[in-house]
């Protein structure tokens, strides 16, 4: 079974600073990987996804993530954070279970606070 | 208009009451899901459905039931609500045709059980 770990529960960065949110996954083969963002009072919105090809993927709102198989990681980055990026971010991994179902497992989330 | 809608958006109820949360989608997707979100626990899958005749339990189905009335509608019921079912509930959809299996989420229903 797959699993996802987001080791940082809460991160605070200054506006304009760079950001990296960590995500590690456990799965025996190449998984599908996702980053979602949840703004206060909102549902989850997909930021970006990886399932094959270039290991550096670009997403919406200036975010990018890099798949590193050797480290089982899929960290999310942004070079310059804006106050509107304050939200909770979820990493997710999709993989086939024994029944052939593409199951998606979510991490516990990282809450981002942006200070002026 | 939103592609995935949930009703109600907020609900307060009492222990022992039966509650139904509804989800509708206009995306034409075949797959639908119900998750609950609790602080510090992320999203946990309650039930999922591949089509109207296919319903599957997720990791935390006890105390819940679902109904897939049509391809576009997927309802979650709490037969006898209890306080530890207080949570934020999300419906999501996906399409087998999408090779990435991206899920699309509704805005959520905040349920409080007193």
Residue B13: predicted pLDDT = 96
Distance from CA of A45 to the nearest CA of B (A): 7
Cβ distance A76 to A89 under 8 Å?
yes
The verdict on A1 touching B (C-beta cutoff 8 Å) is: no
pLDDT per residue as tens digits for the range A61-100: 999 999 999 999 999 999 999 999 999 999 999 876 666 6
Highest mean pLDDT pick, A90-104, B1-15, B89-103: B1-15
Question: From B42, which residue of chain A is nearest by alpha-carbon distance?
Answer: A108
**With helix as H, strand as E and coil as C, how does B20-85 read?**
EEEEEECCCCCEEEEEEEECCCEEEEEEEEEECCEEEECCCCCCEEEEEEECCEEEEEECCCCHHH
Contact between chains at B107 and A42 (C-beta distance less than 8 A): yes
The verdict on A111 touching B (C-beta cutoff 8 Å) is: no
Q: Token digits for B52? A: 């109207």
DSSP secondary structure letters along A67-78:
EEGGGTEEEEEE
Q: What are the chain B neighbours of A42 within 8 Å (beta carbons)?
A: 107-108
Closest by CA to A35, choosing from A4, A11, A68, is A4
Give the separation between CA A1 and CA A9, rounded to whole angstroms: 23
Give the separation between CA B79 and CA B63, rounded to whole angstroms: 7
* Contact map slice: A 29-58 vs B, CB within 8 A: 32, 34, 36, 42-46, 49, 51
Q: What are the chain B neighbours of A90 within 8 Å (beta carbons)?
A: 42-43
Contact between chains at A43 and B90 (C-beta distance less than 8 A): yes
Give the separation between CA A87 and CA A11, rounded to whole angstroms: 10
Q: What are the chain B neighbours of A9 within 8 Å (beta carbons)?
A: 40
Q: What are the chain A neighbours of B38 within 8 Å (beta carbons)?
A: none
Contact between chains at B101 and A32 (C-beta distance less than 8 A): yes
Residue A111: predicted pLDDT = 95
Region of poorest pLDDT, from A14-18, A26-30, A92-96: A26-30
Residue B20: predicted pLDDT = 97
At residue A54, does pLDDT exceed 70? yes
Residue B51: predicted pLDDT = 87
Angle (nearest 5°) at CA A64 between A61 and A67: 155
Give the separation between CA A93 and CA A49, rounded to whole angstroms: 10
């Amino acid at each position: 079974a797959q699993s996802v770990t987001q080791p940082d529960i809460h991160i605070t960065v200054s506006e304009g600073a760079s950001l990296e949110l960590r995500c590690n996954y456990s799965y025996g083969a190449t998984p599908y990987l996702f980053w979602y963002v949840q703004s206060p009072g909102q549902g989850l919105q997909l930021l970006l996804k990886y399932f094959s090809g270039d290991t550096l993927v670009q997403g919406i709102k200036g975010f990018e993530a890099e798949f590193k198989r050797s480290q089982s990681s899929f960290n999310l980055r942004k070079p310059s954070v804006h106050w509107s990026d304050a939200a909770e971010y979820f990493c997710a991994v999709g993989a086939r279970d024994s029944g052939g179902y593409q199951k998606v497992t979510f991490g516990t989330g990282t809450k981002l606070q942006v200070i002026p | 208009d939103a592609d995935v809608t949930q009703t109600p958006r907020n609900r307060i109820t009492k222990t022992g009451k039966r509650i139904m949360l509804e989800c509708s989608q206009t995306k034409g997707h075949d797959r639908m899901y119900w998750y609950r979100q609790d602080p510090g626990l992320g999203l946990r899958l309650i039930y999922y459905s591949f089509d109207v005749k296919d319903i599957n339990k997720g990791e935390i189905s006890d105390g819940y039931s679902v109904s897939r009335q049509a391809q576009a509608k997927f309802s979650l019921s709490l037969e006898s609500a209890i306080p530890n079912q207080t949570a934020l509930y999300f419906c999501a959809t996906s399409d087998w045709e999408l090779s990435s299996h991206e899920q699309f989420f509704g805005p959520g229903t905040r349920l409080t059980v007193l």
